[in-house]
């Protein structure tokens, strides 16, 4: 299958782009904001991921002759198609670093450019950032539960097709140590790892022969799956036999894997058996429908598990399955614009904006302020709740930082490309600045996101003006 990146969009984006072109509006300048309204999984925050992948895809966002022919067959006009032949994104993108912790309602990323290029970018942007931020957030929760124990992403076979590539990347950005996805490891510089399947054991005449053969042919990083027949009666004893044979050859069995049954009970029994055989270095890997809650429970039960393999629940973002990120127009030719709604929570924020993060006295994140781009952050003393302006927070005198900056312009990234380990380390560092109340799984504390007085007033004035014309 040939992939043409310029066609990686919804049909209506192209329909609107053609409409703008034929209406002679292709030079209109606009600003679009990307944000979401609810953290996934009931979390107190979201991990921003996918930015570097978005940059790579934008650089390839073109319309070659095959794409033009395809669109011609769909009824698009020749004049517009001639314009697309030379299309490439020349606008600007403002965003935080990948791996940043972000919160609902704030404009995480803004796109500035002509109205056609900014419109055509919408689907690609949402598809990339929504999914990877979802998976990175899930992975961070798994990392939080697992503590210093390893987490491996095992979900390729349960992923939604090619989403597995981006999902594995996002999982490692969010805190997983490695992936089973070899293609993703190759593409994004991840560590890949894997053990063996039950079919390997079944294909031999007996379990011991299966283990011996695997250890002889693949002695490095050898992990034996011990639950094909009976974990404690045959699987672990046979693994111990092979481990001792490996020691005689100067080799080391890396671990055993449990993939069914009572993982807490079996891991404790297996650990005792391994230790009594002097195999203290052999690790125990566990898999089988794990998630952050089950991992937390297993550790609380005293499970002797060193490595957690997490598949379906990570790669699919269960139980949410999607981040509700949206892409809304906020300015046209320098004039702020707004989308109205009967639901105050769905009123958009007009104009070009900046996001400022404030710290409390303990060097923890205290609140995020959304200000107009032209505002001097030093002059903002109070931020107001986006839905209930009578609720406010004083930020005068607090340590602060500007969260967003220009990261992409005229077809190329303006920031140094980070490898996935650096992105994960940055995520870990930023999460460490959150108080524990925001990290708990059940009813986390709601992080403050407020608007400056000027932005609050602008939104109110625009709302009144538009409603007055209706």
> Are both 342 and 440 inside the same structural domain?
yes
> Are both 258 and 290 inside the same structural domain?
yes
Average pLDDT over every residue of 187-193 = 96
pLDDT of res. 1: 42
283: domain CATH number? 3.20.20.70
Domain end point (choices 315, 347, 374)? 315
Q: pLDDT tier at 468 (50, 70, 90 boundaries)?
A: confident
> Are both 277 and 352 inside the same structural domain?
no
> Are both 405 and 347 inside the same structural domain?
yes
User: Distance between CA 68 and CA 84 in Å, rounded?
Assistant: 8
Say if CB 97 and CB 427 are below 8 A apart.
no
28-74 confidence digits (pLDDT tens):
999 999 999 999 999 999 999 999 999 999 999 999 999 999 999 99
Average pLDDT over every residue of 234-239 = 98
- Asked whether the predicted pLDDT for residue 446 surpasses 90, the reply is yes
pLDDT of res. 5: 81
> Could you tell me the residue range of the domain that residue 157 belongs to?
136-315
Q: In whole angstroms, how large is the CA radius of gyration of the chain?
A: 26
> Are both 459 and 350 inside the same structural domain?
yes
Q: What is the DSSP string of 134-178?
A: HHHHHHHHHHHHHTTSEEEE--GGGS-TTHHHHHHHHHHHTT--E
Domain end point (choices 272, 287, 315)? 315
Which residues fall within 8 angstroms of residue 11, CB to CB, at 6 or more apart? 74
Query: Which token pair is 186?
Result: 């190759």
Average pLDDT over every residue of 347-355 = 96
> Are both 89 and 154 inside the same structural domain?
no
pLDDT of res. 2: 55
> What is the count of structural domains for the chain?
2
pLDDT of res. 279: 98
> Are both 142 and 121 inside the same structural domain?
no
Q: pLDDT tier at 346 (50, 70, 90 boundaries)?
A: confident
Domain end point (choices 263, 296, 315)? 315
pLDDT of res. 470: 64
Say if CB 212 and CB 253 are below 8 A apart.
no
Average pLDDT over every residue of 140-151 = 98
Mean pLDDT of the chain, nearest integer? 96
Query: Which token pair is 360?
Result: 């409390």
> Are both 153 and 194 inside the same structural domain?
yes
56 sits in which H/E element: helix 51-59
309-331 confidence digits (pLDDT tens):
999 999 999 999 999 999 999 99
pLDDT of res. 6: 93
DSSP code, position 82 = H
> Are both 436 and 288 inside the same structural domain?
no
> Are both 129 and 145 inside the same structural domain?
no
> Are both 161 and 112 inside the same structural domain?
no
358-395 confidence digits (pLDDT tens):
999 899 999 999 999 999 999 999 999 999 989 999 99
pLDDT of res. 3: 65
End-to-end alpha carbon distance in the chain = 50
- Asked whether the predicted pLDDT for residue 341 surpasses 90, the reply is no
110-144 confidence digits (pLDDT tens):
999 999 999 999 999 999 999 999 999 999 999 99
Q: pLDDT tier at 282 (50, 70, 90 boundaries)?
A: very high
404: domain CATH number? 3.20.140.10
> Are both 130 and 141 inside the same structural domain?
no
pLDDT of res. 345: 74
Residues above pLDDT 70, as percent of the chain: 99
Stated pTM of the model: 0.96
pLDDT of res. 466: 86
With H, G, I as helix, E, B as strand and everything else as coil, classify residue 434.
coil
């Amino acid at each position: 299958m040939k992939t043409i990146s310029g066609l990686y969009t919804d049909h209506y984006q192209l329909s609107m782009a053609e409409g703008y072109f034929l209406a002679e509006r292709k030079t209109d300048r606009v600003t679009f904001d990307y944000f979401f309204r609810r953290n996934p999984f009931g979390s107190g925050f979201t991990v921003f991921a996918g930015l570097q992948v978005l940059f790579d895809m934008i650089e390839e966002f073109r319309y070659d002759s095959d794409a033009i022919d395809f669109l011609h067959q769909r009824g698009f006009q020749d004049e517009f198609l001639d314009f697309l032949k030379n299309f490439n994104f020349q606008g600007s993108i403002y965003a935080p670093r990948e791996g940043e912790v972000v919160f609902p309602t704030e404009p995480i990323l803004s796109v500035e450019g002509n109205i056609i290029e900014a419109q055509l970018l919408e689907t690609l942007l949402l598809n990339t950032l929504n999914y990877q931020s979802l998976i990175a957030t899930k992975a961070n929760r798994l990392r939080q539960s697992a503590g210093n124990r390893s987490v491996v992403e095992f979900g390729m076979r349960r992923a939604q097709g090619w989403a597995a590539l981006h999902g594995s990347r996002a999982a490692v950005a969010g805190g997983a140590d490695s992936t089973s996805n070899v293609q993703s490891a190759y593409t994004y510089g991840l560590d890949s790892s894997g053990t063996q399947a039950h079919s390997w054991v079944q294909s031999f005449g007996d379990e011991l022969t299966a283990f011996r053969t695997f250890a002889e042919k693949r002695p490095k990083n050898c992990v034996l799956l011990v639950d094909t027949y009976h974990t404690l009666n045959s699987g672990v004893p046979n693994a111990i036999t092979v481990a001792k044979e490996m020691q005689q050859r100067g080799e080391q069995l890396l671990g055993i894997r449990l993939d069914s049954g009572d993982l807490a009970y079996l891991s404790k029994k297996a650990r005792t058996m391994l230790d009594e055989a002097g195999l203290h270095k052999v690790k125990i890997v566990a898999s089988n429908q794990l998630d952050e809650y089950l991992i937390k429970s297993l550790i609380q039960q005293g499970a002797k598990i060193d490595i957690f393999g997490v598949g379906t629940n990570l790669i699919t973002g269960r139980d949410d399955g999607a981040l509700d990120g949206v892409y809304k127009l906020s300015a046209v030719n320098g004039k702020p614009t707004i989308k109205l709604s009967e639901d105050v929570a769905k009123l958009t924020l007009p104009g070009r904006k900046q996001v400022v993060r404030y710290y409390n006295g303990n060097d923890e994140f205290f609140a995020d302020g959304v200000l107009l781009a032209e505002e001097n952050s030093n002059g903002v003393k109070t931020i107001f709740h986006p839905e209930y302006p009578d609720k406010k927070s004083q930020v005068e005198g607090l340590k602060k930082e500007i969260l967003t900056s220009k990261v992409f312009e005229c077809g190329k990234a303006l920031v140094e490309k980070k490898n996935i380990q650096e992105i994960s380390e940055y995520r870990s560092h930023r999460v460490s600045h959150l108080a524990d109340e925001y990290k708990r799984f059940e009813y986390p504390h709601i992080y403050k996101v407020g608007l400056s007085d000027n932005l609050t007033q602008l939104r109110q004035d625009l709302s009144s003006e538009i409603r007055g014309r209706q």
